[in-house]
Amino acid sequence: MRDPSEAETDMSEADHLGTVAPRAAPPGQDNAWPVAMLTLRVNGQTHRLALDTRTTLLDMLRDHLGLTGAKTGCNQGACGACTVLADGKRINACLTLAVAAQGQDIITIEGLAKGDALHPMQQAFVDHDAFQCGYCTPGQIMSAIACIHEGHAGSAEEIREFMSGNLCRCGAYPNIVKAVQDVAGQGDMRFPGKGGV
Ligand code: FES
Ligand code: FES
């Protein structure tokens, strides 16, 4: 019988399989933390990972898959820095357990570009200078794509309202709104929804 703490080792052309070890328990705590073999689909690739079942989707992406685009900000659902898409819906990865994300198509900022061609929202953020330090930017871009797809980009006021879950400490809000308006006006945004990128 397979030890569930061991990651799968076989790899097909379409799959990338992360190799992980469950995290050690803090000193003085029982080392027998629950570990499960999870299957997650991220940016069109299937990953099979042995993880502590309490691992968040954000930690799984960053620490186990090396996808560090989604950022850890507040780590409690208040800043939007960790925003990713799950079956086309924007979610806070810091509030989502990896085990609960199984069976969904997870899209991160790393899954948007097609080779050297940026997604129109990425390009719009560059064109409109919609960031300064850039820490919030991956979450802003993922949220902005969903905002348009949800039909909530009809005016600057509406964009501000429906992007209000994404905070920017640098105060780049005016140019973020311009970037979203630009892409919304193009009318042909590629939307990475259920089914992958
Ligand atoms: S890090 Fe997830 S909402 Fe702030
Ligand atoms: S660009 Fe710095 S926090 Fe938004």
Query: Whole domain around residue 136: which residue ranges?
Result: 120-186
Q: How confident is the model at residue 191 (pLDDT cuts 50, 70, 90)?
A: confident
Q: Domain total for the chain?
A: 1
Residue of 129, 132, 143, 175 to test ligand 2 pocket, by largest number of atoms within 8 Å of CB: 132
pLDDT of residue 33: 73
Domain membership of residue 167 (yes or no) is yes
| C-alpha of residue 46 to centroid of ligand 2, in Å | 31
- pLDDT tens for 56-107 read 999 999 999 999 999 999 999 999 999 999 999 999 999 999 999 999 999 9
- Measured CA to CA, the distance from residue 122 to residue 176 in angstroms comes to 11
Contact 147, 180 (CB under 8 A): yes
Task: Answer whether residue 37 is part of any domain.
Answer: no
From edge to edge, which strands make up the β-sheet containing 83-86? 45-52, 35-42, 105-107, 83-86, 89-92
Taking the centre of ligand 1 as the mean of its atom positions, its distance from the CA of residue 79, in whole angstroms, is 5
Q: Of the ligands numbered here, which is closest to the C-alpha atom of 169?
A: 2
Ligand 2 centre to CA of 1 (Å) is 49
Q: What are phi and psi of 8, to 5 degrees?
A: -60, 150
Residue 15's pLDDT is what? 42
**pLDDT band for position 13 (cuts 50, 70, 90):** very low
Cα 42 vs. chain centroid, distance in angstroms?
Answer: 9
| Residue 92 domain flag | no
Ligand 1 atom closest to Cα of residue 165: 3
Within a domain: 49: no
Window from 2-11, 71-80, 139-148, 187-196 with minimum mean pLDDT? 2-11
CATH number assigned to the domain comprising residue 168: 1.10.150.120
Q: Which atom of ligand 1 is nearest to the CA of 83?
A: 2
pLDDT at 8: 39
CB-defined site of ligand 1, < 6 Å: 72-75, 77-82, 92, 94
In a domain, residue 127? The reply is yes
Average pLDDT value over all residues in the chain: 87
**What would the 3-class secondary structure string for the chain be?**
CCCCCCCCCCCCCCECCCCCCCCCCCCCCCCCCCEEEEEEEECCEEEEEEEECCCEHHHHHHHHCCCCCCCCCCCCCCCCCCEEEECCEEEEHHHCEHHHHCCCEEECHHHCCECCECCHHHHHHHHCCCCCCCCCHHHHHHHHHHHHHCCCCCCHHHHHHHCCCCCCCCCCHHHHHHHHHHHHHHCCCCCCCCCCC
**Residue 178, pLDDT score:** 98
Q: Each residue of 106-163: pLDDT tens digit?
A: 999 999 999 999 999 999 999 999 999 999 999 999 999 999 999 999 999 999 999 9
pTM assigned to the model: 0.84
User: How many angstroms separate the alpha carbon of residue 81 from the centre of ligand 2?
Assistant: 9
Ligand 1: residue of 94, 163, 164 to mutate (most ligand atoms within 8 A of CB) is: 94
Average pLDDT over residues 11-18: 40
Under the banding of pLDDT at 50, 70 and 90, the label for residue 195 is low
Q: Of 95, 84, 92, which is closest to residue 55 (Cα–Cα)?
A: 95
Q: What's the rounded Cα separation, in Å, for the pair 126 and 27?
A: 46
Q: How far is Cα 50 from Cα 61, in angstroms, rounded to an integer?
A: 13
Higher pLDDT, 197 or 4: 197
pLDDT per position as a tens digit, 23-47: 556 666 666 678 999 999 999 999 9
11 pLDDT more than 70 = no
Whether 10 maps to a domain, the answer reads no
